[in-house]
């Protein structure tokens, strides 16, 4: 479902007059049509002030050495005699003090693995109980090179944990999952059981839907034909794809995975095109079974990135509700939805200048999702937003944002607006939108909740 590399989005959450700057990116399929008469188009102007960046921490004042409580993960790199190495680091912070540390060996050679395991076995005694600012490890259990990677990961964690995001509700849990950065805002800190349940839900979803995992259910479609039955969540997801596929004439389709991999966006992240573009196989022809069934007669690559991350935001929000947490905001790489959070604002990052904003959204109880072709680009004209009808990257639209009742729908429509004009979708969905064309001009609905800078 997701790529291995992650993108950080500048974001700020403040109650009332605050802002949250974000640009969401998700897999999609896309060529724009004509603009509707009841929408608005403006010249390529943008905010005269920079895109707002985060200025505070959950319950803490911002400042040097001020960190947000929570668990953080990062990866550090270093060079050993065996080549380039990586090591995973997880830290838990309370009042800027490390309360727990885990080092995950990631070396691919036996000697490097051995040194990393030694380092992992001894690091707790070196850093637990110390301030994050004090940490500068030189050697642990005879391993000095691993320390280099560890220190690099710590610097990344410092940046993430620095009081750089104010929680609307008081507490923020930030972590990495499915190839993107997550933030869950709640009134009270999430307990270990709640975090474990949410992590398990995300892992379960990824194990089903990720085309980047050999053990996923989706990956079976590469090697097995016939009837494939998916979990219950597939009914809502597939129904959305049914509607979008029909509305766009095949422009939005989860069968775009083959085309993405031909362009180099494959499980190996080769980023090297290996063949000419080709239209995606017919989605409607594969939907002749039940609501959660896909039937294939040839190998296909299923990619639900156009709407899957949005659905997972909804599912995580539901997990919080099932635990009795009714006031929360779930943000997955800029695709977000709040419930009971009160008003908050979201700055829309300029796709050509990340220091500027083109507008501010106020989604309220609805979801806000977006897609941008510049977020996963790897060669001239190559990016992850494809038109399923041609298998080629879209050239006419560079960014979209959609506000809808669920993140699933908002995410899917953000993709569809690369493919078709909004009036094509207006009789099927209740939504508001902003689009940025490749010439920089803006196209948006007059009722978009918030403000578009002109």
Interval 214-232 mean pLDDT: 95
pLDDT band at 429; cut points 50, 70, 90: very high
Q: Is the pTM of this model over 0.85?
A: no
Q: Which segment of 1-10, 42-51, 167-176 scores lowest on mean pLDDT?
A: 1-10
Interval 109-120 mean pLDDT: 93
* Residues 101, 46 within the same domain: no
Residue 6 and residue 176 in contact, taking contact as beta carbons nearer than 8 Å: yes
* Residues 315, 299 within the same domain: yes
pLDDT tens-digit map of 242-295:
999 999 999 899 998 776 767 765 566 556 667 777 888 999 999 999 999 999
Query: Which domain CATH number covers 247?
Result: 3.10.520.10
Query: Which domain CATH number covers 133?
Result: 3.90.1010.10
Kind plus residue range of the DSSP H or E element containing 87: strand 83-94
Residue 418 and residue 32 in contact, taking contact as beta carbons nearer than 8 Å: yes
pLDDT confidence of residue 453: 87
Answer yes or no: is pLDDT of 55 > 90.
no
pLDDT tens-digit map of 58-86:
222 222 356 877 888 899 999 999 888 99
* Residues 387, 338 within the same domain: yes
Q: Give the number of domains in the chain.
A: 2
pLDDT tens-digit map of 282-333:
999 999 999 999 999 999 989 998 999 999 999 999 999 999 999 999 999 9
pLDDT band at 20; cut points 50, 70, 90: very low
pLDDT confidence of residue 266: 56
Which of 161, 179, 197 is at the close of a domain?
161
Which of 110, 135, 161 is at the close of a domain?
161
Which of 161, 179, 195 is at the close of a domain?
161
Q: How many Cβ atoms from other residues are within 10 Å of residue 5's Cβ?
A: 9
CA separation for the pair 420, 413 (Å, rounded): 10
Residue 3 and residue 269 in contact, taking contact as beta carbons nearer than 8 Å: yes
Interval 177-191 mean pLDDT: 91
Owning domain of residue 434: 1-66+163-454
- Nearby residues of 192 by Cβ (< 8 Å), 6 or more positions away: none
Residue 76 and residue 372 in contact, taking contact as beta carbons nearer than 8 Å: no
């Amino acid at each position: 479902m997701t790529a291995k590399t992650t993108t950080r989005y500048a974001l700020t959450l403040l109650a009332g007059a605050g802002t949250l700057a974000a640009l969401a990116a998700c897999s999609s399929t896309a060529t724009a049509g004509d603009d509707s008469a009841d929408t608005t188009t403006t010249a390529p102007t943008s905010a005269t002030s920079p895109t707002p960046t985060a200025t505070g921490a959950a319950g803490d004042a911002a400042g040097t050495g001020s960190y947000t409580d929570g668990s953080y993960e990062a990866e550090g790199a270093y060079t050993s005699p065996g080549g380039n190495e990586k090591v995973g680091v997880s830290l838990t912070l309370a009042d800027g003090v490390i309360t727990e540390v885990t080092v995950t060996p990631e070396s691919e050679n036996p000697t490097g693995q051995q040194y990393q395991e030694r380092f992992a076995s001894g690091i707790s005694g070196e850093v637990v109980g110390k301030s994050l600012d004090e940490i500068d490890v030189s050697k642990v259990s005879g391993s000095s090179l691993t320390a280099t990677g560890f220190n690099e990961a710590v610097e990344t964690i410092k940046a993430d944990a620095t009081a750089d995001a104010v929680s609307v509700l008081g507490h923020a849990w930030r972590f990495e999952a499915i190839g993107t950065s997550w933030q869950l805002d709640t009134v009270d800190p999430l307990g270990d059981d709640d975090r474990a349940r949410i992590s398990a839900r995300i892992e379960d979803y990824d194990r089903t839907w990720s085309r980047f995992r050999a053990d996923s259910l989706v990956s079976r479609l590469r090697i097995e034909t016939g009837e494939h039955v998916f979990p219950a969540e597939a009914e809502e997801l597939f129904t959305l794809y049914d509607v979008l596929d029909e509305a766009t004439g095949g422009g939005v389709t989860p069968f775009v995975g083959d085309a993405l991999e031909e362009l180099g966006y494959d499980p190996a992240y080769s980023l090297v095109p290996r063949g000419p573009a080709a239209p995606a196989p017919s989605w409607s022809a594969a939907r002749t079974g039940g609501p959660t069934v896909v039937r294939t007669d040839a190998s296909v690559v299923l990619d639900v990135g156009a709407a899957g991350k949005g659905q997972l935001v909804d599912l995580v929000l539901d997990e919080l509700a099932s635990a009795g947490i009714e006031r929360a905001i779930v943000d997955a790489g800029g695709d977000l939805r709040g419930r009971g959070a009160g008003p908050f604002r979201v700055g829309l990052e300029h796709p050509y200048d990340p220091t500027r904003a083109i507008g501010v959204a106020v989604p309220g109880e609805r979801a806000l999702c977006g897609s941008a072709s510049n977020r996963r680009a790897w060669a001239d004209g190559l990016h992850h937003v494809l038109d399923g009808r041609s298998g080629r990257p879209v050239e006419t639209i560079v960014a979209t944002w959609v506000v809808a009742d669920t993140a699933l729908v908002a995410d899917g429509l953000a993709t569809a607006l690369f493919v078709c004009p909004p009036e094509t979708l207006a009789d099927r969905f209740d939504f508001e939108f902003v689009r940025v064309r490749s010439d920089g001009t803006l196209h948006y609905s007059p009722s978009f909740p918030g403000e578009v800078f002109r």
